[in-house]
A and B are shown apart, each in its own frame.
Chain A
């Protein structure tokens, strides 16, 4: 039977879109090139343990009763009862601008307000005005790019406060260098400061299994190792897809979650001209025995630091820029009891082209990975305390790794700086969801999948 809709990409946006469709339409097919689902948010096995590729903390925490909260709306749309899930909330997170100032925040928004009142007393009134502004502002209304940075500088007047507030929001959700779109700022402000961080119980593998089982139970079909090489088209209609194996699958609708340029490539189109730099990241994982817990802070979940002010969020000139970064302690969520090992994770900005230049030379590439990891370790120990003697396993992934496993152009986690907010890429029955539609992160990408399906496919299929 010809599937009514094919979804390209088994990352979180593709899985969410697939479930949403399968709730009402039988025979939905999800195609994933990799042997494993999850895309950017997947897992692998090393040192006899499961390591997650991309889960620090999920944004948008909400209490079960809060019907309008994005998290609960998402679960409702997917028909996953909230009571089937156990969530662990963060303890406290911190923004540290070395030698300048520190700000704490948690899932209780009052903490951040108090911190700002205490440390930036001259800006607190302006901060409350900002909150009023954000309450009225509709970040989903279509609008051209507007600089959040310029807007905040004008409102809050204090450039240090502006950079400190932007740092976590950029790291967890900006595909644009040194700035973010005001709408994206409003979305991320809500997601991180007003709502906050949590983790589902277990690992990302459990979460992915829950999603894929749900999709299968609704009658969907998942094909792994199914790389789409061509989208077959007739004028403005997509007829079907061709897989690497040569197999052709026809379909009435196609939803691509692999990125805009990546989709253009399999449509046989030229890349979009003049795309600004894509942002690359390097992630290191340090695994420690559980006995090392007392060496590390007990009450910090995520730490966002910058050693330079103004904060720079751009493609570095070197392989990596450790002058700023994100440090995550995934065991520091409420009610998590690690069994044998714990992890320290670090994220820094990285240059795809510099990694690309050395990738062919395996030895140089591996050496660079190691050096970059050492560099990261030296910086993050300043904030965590010394733990290097306890490391039992360590690993680093670069933009090259991410490109290899997810086929994301330049291994850019947040995709293209240019977003296609309505998911419309000029076809009658082919749409774009996921990272390049514009909603970023785990909850964001899932909402992207759901909303593009709702907007373009469900009413017409």
Chain B
């Protein structure tokens, strides 16, 4: 997957969690949770969706690496290289 595809994947997952999520002013370097009003319960859904869709097992200690859109891309890029 390209970086843009990974971004789209994350946004698609978030949209699936909350169909009213507003991405217009999303800053890719700021935490997703604060900007989109997601709580830790919603956040777990991102991890679980990645697992369901791409069989990615993300260990709990790596969750912080999914904090911003850009950090998601950095973290996921090597894992989704062949996806």
Contacts and interface: CB of A to CB of B under 8 A. Distances in A.
A73 B42 CA distance: 8
A23 B37 contact: no
A24 B48 contact: yes
A41 interface: no
B17 A24 contact: no
A68 B41 contact: no
A170 B60 CA distance: 37
A68 B44 contact: no
Interface stretch (A105-113, A118-126, A191-199, A451-459): A451-459
**For chain B, which range describes its interface: under 10, 10 to 19, 20 to 34, or 35 or more residues?**
10 to 19
Contacts of A450: 41
A450 B42 CA distance: 12
A149 B1 CA distance: 58
Interface string B23-43: 000000000000001011110
Contacts of B17: 76
B60 A459 contact: yes
B60 to A, nearest CB: 5
Contacts of B51: 24
B81 interface: no
Contacts of A24: 48-49, 51-52
Interface string A267-294: 0000000000000000000000000000
B52 A451 contact: no
Contacts of B39: 68, 73
A178 interface: no
Majority secondary structure, B binding face: helix
Contact of A454 (B18, B20, B41, B49): B41
B41 A459 contact: no
Contacts of A454: 40-41, 44
B42 A76 contact: yes
A135 B49 CA distance: 33
A23 B53 CA distance: 12
B67 interface: no
A187 B79 CA distance: 41
B47 interface: yes
Nearest to A447: B41
A386 interface: no
Interface string A74-88: 001100000000000
A193 to B, nearest CB: 22
Contacts of B42: 73, 76-77
B72 to A, nearest CB: 17
A67 interface: yes
A23 B51 CA distance: 12
Interface in B47-63: 47-49, 51-52, 60
Contact of A451 (B37, B41, B47, B48): B41
B36 to A, nearest CB: 9
A65 B21 CA distance: 11
Interface string A53-76: 000000000000101100001001
Contacts of A23: 48
B18 A76 contact: yes
A65 B39 CA distance: 15
B52 A68 contact: no
Contacts of A65: 20
Residue of A23, A67, A68, A451 with most partner-chain B CB within 10 A:
A67
Contact of A458 (B18, B20, B37, B48): B48
Interface in A223-258: none
B41 A73 contact: yes
A142 B78 CA distance: 38
Given A24-B48, A76-B17, A454-B41, 19 more contacts: A23-B48, A24-B49, A24-B51, A24-B52, A65-B20, A67-B18, A67-B20, A67-B37, A68-B39, A73-B39, A73-B41, A77-B41, A77-B42, A77-B45, A450-B41, A451-B41, A454-B44, A459-B44, A459-B60
Interface of B: 17-18, 20, 37, 39-42, 44-45, 47-49, 51-52, 60
24 contacts: A24-B48, A24-B49, A24-B51, A67-B18, A67-B20, A67-B37, A68-B37, A68-B39, A73-B41, A73-B42, A76-B18, A76-B41, A77-B41, A77-B42, A77-B45, A450-B41, A451-B41, A454-B40, A454-B41, A454-B44, A458-B44, A459-B44, A459-B47, A459-B60
